[in-house]
Homo-oligomer: A and B are copies of this chain.
């Protein structure tokens, strides 16, 4: 298969790793952050603008694309890459997260999850086999196995049940694979239970997937609880395979997770917050609706190459108060650029054996400014 993971450097005093993940649509330098393109678009940006943030690989969503426009239309139009005009690597999630986020409209059996569509009420049966068939029709480089994500806190028995189902479904996903140009990543579940997490990781590691994800986190638990899960899961995963932390997180979360050995991330935090007038900077977040910015001629961040940082904070604030689309557009571009620059700097720091001091400096700077 046209996939491999080259591990180039390990940081001293940290589990941080510098690597390259090779895919049919090009390499991904890791650690890397994938912007979220749920409905075949990163909200508010043209595909050129996505590229200009420094993004290497993006995420699409199996559940949403299967409902609309339907994976057959995407396949018939040349696959998701061509459909949305992105020629780099794409990872698709499996729909497993929707077992959690749309739990009220979902019935789960050993065979499959059955969703009542949030769009028109029609039924979508998502079995492991169907999830893989959809992802193969979409033509993503990386397909995620269908996993069973549950809400936390939950009883140990429920967590164990979902965890075991996740392992059985991973095997079925693998058996269902027909494409040579798509790698499947398995997903470790187990809630906040360290024994279950390690057991699940070991079971999946024995199946020798081309990559591994940590799922079921960032569902309401405290950051420290998430970090403790990573402390035990990462050492239980194969060293020579990419590790993907699903749906995480803040800039702080990313550095903490990289420190624990994570290579890949996706999250809506930079895009969703950008649409809501929050800009990430090296001095901490700025809330652009605040009156303090009304006459401020400075850019969000000096030296930032994004589209927003050619304008004043006063102009950006005006756009949000006037309810103009350009406000969300520009802050989305800024925040994604911020995330990509942060990851690029992290990669450099790891390669230079300076990741620990890099992280300490970032943490201190983020705390330096009263939130405005």
Q: Which residues of A contact B (CB under 8 A)?
A: 39-41, 43-46, 48, 64, 68-69, 73, 76-78, 83-85, 294-295, 297, 307, 310-312, 314-315, 317-319, 321-322, 324-326, 328-330
| Interface contact A326-B73, CB-CB below 8 Å | no
Pairs across A and B, CB under 8 Å, 14 listed: A43-B325, A44-B326, A45-B326, A46-B329, A48-B307, A68-B322, A73-B294, A73-B314, A76-B295, A83-B314, A83-B315, A84-B315, A325-B328, A329-B329
Chain B residues contacting A297 (CB-CB under 8 Å) are: 77-78
| Interface contact A39-B322, CB-CB below 8 Å | yes
In the complex with contacts A41-B324, A41-B326, A325-B329, A307-B69 CB distance below 8 A: no
Chain B residues contacting A43 (CB-CB under 8 Å) are: 324-326
Which of these, B64, B77, B84, contacts A295 with CB under 8 Å?
B77
Chain B residues contacting A76 (CB-CB under 8 Å) are: 295
In the complex with contacts A73-B294, A294-B73, A295-B77, A68-B326 CB distance below 8 A: no
Which of these, B310, B314, B322, contacts A85 with CB under 8 Å?
B310
Which of these, B46, B315, B321, contacts A326 with CB under 8 Å?
B46
| Interface contact B83-A312, CB-CB below 8 Å | yes
9 smallest beta-carbon distances between A and B, as pairs: A39-B322, A69-B318, A41-B326, A44-B325, A41-B324, A46-B307, A83-B315, A77-B314, A77-B297
Q: Min CB distance, A359 to chain B, in Å? A: 33
Q: Bound complex: CA of A64 vs CA of B322, how far in Å? A: 10
| Interface contact A295-B73, CB-CB below 8 Å | yes
